[in-house]
Structure formats: C-alpha cells, structure tokens
C-alpha cells in the first residue's frame, strides 16, 4: 500500500521490482563454484546486497543512460540561453563566461550578444527563452517520477512556477557557488571553505529540484540521502571537471570552432546528469529499503 504522502511504500518497491532481478542473479550464481555461491549468496541476502540489486534494477528501469543524454541536451538548450539572457540584461558577460570556463573564441560571440543588450533580447524573446527552458523541468519531472514509481506528472499551467524555479536554480548554480566562494578564499584553510559552500549548495539543489517538480509528493527528508550522495560525489567530480574542462574547451575551439565547444559542454553535462540521476536513484533505494537505515530515514 502506498503511503499517505503519495510515496510508494518499501513493500511495494521491493517485491515485484526486485524478484526478477534476484531470480536472474540466482541463476547466474548457480553456474559458479560452490564456495563462490555461498559467499555471494550471503552478501546478497544482507542489506547491502539487497540495496545493490535494487539499485542495479532501478538504473535499468529508468534507462539512466538515455535519460542522462536527454537531460544534458535539455540543459544545454534551456539553461545556457537563460544565462545568456541574464548576462545580456545585466550587460555583463564576465561572470557567466568564467563560471562555465568559456574559451576566448566563444567569449567574443557572447560579448557581441551582450553588447547588443535589448536588441538581442526583446520582451517577446525573453518570454520565449523562459518558456522554452521549462522543457528541462518537464524532462526532470518525468525522470523523478520514474525513480520514485509515481504516475507521470501532468502538464498543467499551475506547475509553471515550479518549472521556472528549477530552471533559475540551475542557472544560478553555475554562478552562485563561484561568487559565494570567492570571499572565503582569504580564510584559512583556503581550499576548504569553497568546497563547503559547494557541498551545501549541491545538497540544497539536489533536494529542492525533485521536491518542487513532484509537488511535494515525496517528503523532503526522503530526498536527503540522494542529495547527500550527489554532493559527496561532486566533491570528486567538480575538481576533475575544473582540471579537464578548460583545456578540452580550448582544444575543441581550436580544432572545430563553436560546434566543438558545444559537444564538449554536452559531454560535461552528460556526466553531471548521469551523476544526478544515479545518486537520486540510489537515494530512493536507501530511503525505501525495509532495513534499519531506510526506517530511520523515513522516520518510521
């Protein structure tokens, strides 16, 4: 039976969804030596093994690779135009360009759009950009509904503020973390505080977005495991990205021009989307598990 807040209960999540996977795993174990069968069978009968099976089944169920590419493409065509719009209205492209490590050749194109100001974006153009950007929110809403086993969210005009809020949060996330971390650079240890700011922002974003898009159908506390996992993963991914992205963008711009820059950004966004969806799915597995950890998260 589903819970009162619309979230599927652990029993409904673990029964039919896991049995086919466990049956295939048991069939595979039957072909292994007896010693390996005992060891792996023991592991899979424990909470960690059970959650691992559910996570693998869930990633296949939501088609994480296809959804990650869809969301990366939607992000590229939704959030980046919003950032360019904000930069144009403010007549300042430096903050945006620095936030996404934009190479010099592409900065010149951005500066041309920003210098034109209102010519590039009229009122109708700005409205069109914002309306088009909500496609990202709708794609994410479908993804989170699949993760939590909820009905596909209907497209209603009353949900428009949620879609816009999510797009603006994503747009701000590319600038806010850098801007908030700069004043803390002078406080020792200098490398710690920017990471603390990034971690806190990642947790807030990863919890707010599914909560907003699912209209509170999943309680905020049940979204925290996935949000914490995403923030922890980004502690590793973000420094690696900062080391790789500038050089990759410069090389792509030199070899292929703007189209190379676009493909490099898409690669980066695909990795970010994959991390976002995977940690959300693992967080859902932890939250809905009938074991002690799941009960504590749910407050049972």
Whether 212 maps to a domain, the answer reads yes
pLDDT on residue 264: 87
Whether 209 maps to a domain, the answer reads yes
Cα 208 from Cα 220, distance rounded (Å): 8
- Report the predicted TM-score, pTM, of the whole model to 2 decimal places: 0.78
Other Cβ atoms closer than 10 A to 168: 15
* Token representation of residue 129: 């950009």
pLDDT on residue 198: 86
pLDDT on residue 105: 57
Range of the domain at 261: 63-298
Whether 41 maps to a domain, the answer reads no
| Phi, psi (rounded to 5 degrees) for 49 | -65, -40
pLDDT on residue 65: 94
Q: How many domains does the chain have?
A: 1
Inter-residue contact 284 to 148 (CB < 8 Å): yes
Cα torsion at 37, 43, 45, 49 (round to 10°)?
-120
Whether 44 maps to a domain, the answer reads no
The secondary element (H helix, E strand) that includes residue 294 is helix 292-298
Helix (H, G, I), strand (E, B) or coil at 258: helix
pLDDT in tens, the chain (300 residues): 454 454 555 444 444 444 566 666 666 656 666 666 666 665 666 777 778 888 888 998 999 999 999 999 999 888 877 877 776 666 555 555 565 656 565 555 555 555 555 445 567 777 787 888 889 999 999 999 999 999 987 777 777 888 999 998 988 887 776 666 666 666 677 677 778 888 999 999 999 999 999 998 999 999 999 999 999 999 999 888 888 888 888 888 788 877 888 888 899 999 999 999 999 999 999 999 888 888 999 887
Cα 180 from Cα 175, distance rounded (Å): 9
pLDDT on residue 159: 77
Whether 24 maps to a domain, the answer reads no
Cα 280 from Cα 168, distance rounded (Å): 20
pLDDT on residue 129: 79
pLDDT on residue 31: 66
pLDDT on residue 48: 78
SS3 content of the chain, % helix, strand, coil (to 5): 80, 0, 20
Whether 25 maps to a domain, the answer reads no
Whether 15 maps to a domain, the answer reads no
pLDDT on residue 100: 60
Whether 29 maps to a domain, the answer reads no
pLDDT on residue 259: 84
Cα 223 from Cα 263, distance rounded (Å): 32
């Amino acid at each position: 039976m589903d819970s009162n807040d619309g979230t599927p209960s652990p029993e409904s999540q673990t029964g039919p969804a896991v049995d086919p996977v466990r049956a295939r795993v048991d069939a595979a174990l039957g072909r292994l030596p007896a010693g390996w069968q005992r060891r792996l069978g023991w592991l899979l009968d424990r909470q960690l093994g059970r959650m691992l099976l559910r996570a693998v089944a869930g990633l296949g169920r939501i088609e994480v690779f296809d959804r990650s590419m869809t969301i990366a493409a939607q992000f590229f065509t939704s959030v980046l135009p919003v950032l360019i719009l904000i930069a144009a209205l403010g007549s300042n492209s430096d903050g945006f360009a620095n936030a996404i490590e934009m190479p010099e050749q592409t900065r010149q194109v951005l500066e041309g759009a920003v210098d034109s100001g209102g010519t590039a974006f009229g009122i109708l153009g700005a409205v069109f950009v914002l309306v088009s950007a909500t496609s990202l929110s709708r794609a994410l809403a479908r993804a989170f509904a699949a993760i939590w086993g909820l009905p596909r969210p209907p497209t209603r005009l009353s949900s428009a503020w949620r879609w816009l809020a999510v797009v603006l949060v994503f747009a701000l996330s590319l600038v806010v973390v850098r801007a908030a971390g700069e004043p803390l650079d002078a406080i020792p240890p200098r490398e710690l505080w920017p990471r603390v700011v990034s971690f806190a922002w990642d947790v807030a974003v990863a919890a707010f977005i599914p909560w907003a898009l699912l209209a509170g159908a999943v309680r905020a506390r049940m979204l925290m495991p996935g949000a914490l996992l995403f923030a922890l993963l980004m502690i590793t991914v973000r420094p690696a990205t900062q080391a790789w992205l500038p050089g990759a963008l410069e090389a792509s711009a030199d070899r292929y021009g703007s189209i190379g820059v676009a493909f490099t950004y898409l690669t980066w966004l695909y990795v970010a989307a994959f991390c976002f969806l995977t940690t959300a799915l693992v967080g859902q597995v932890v939250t809905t598990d009938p074991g002690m950890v799941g009960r504590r998260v749910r407050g049972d």
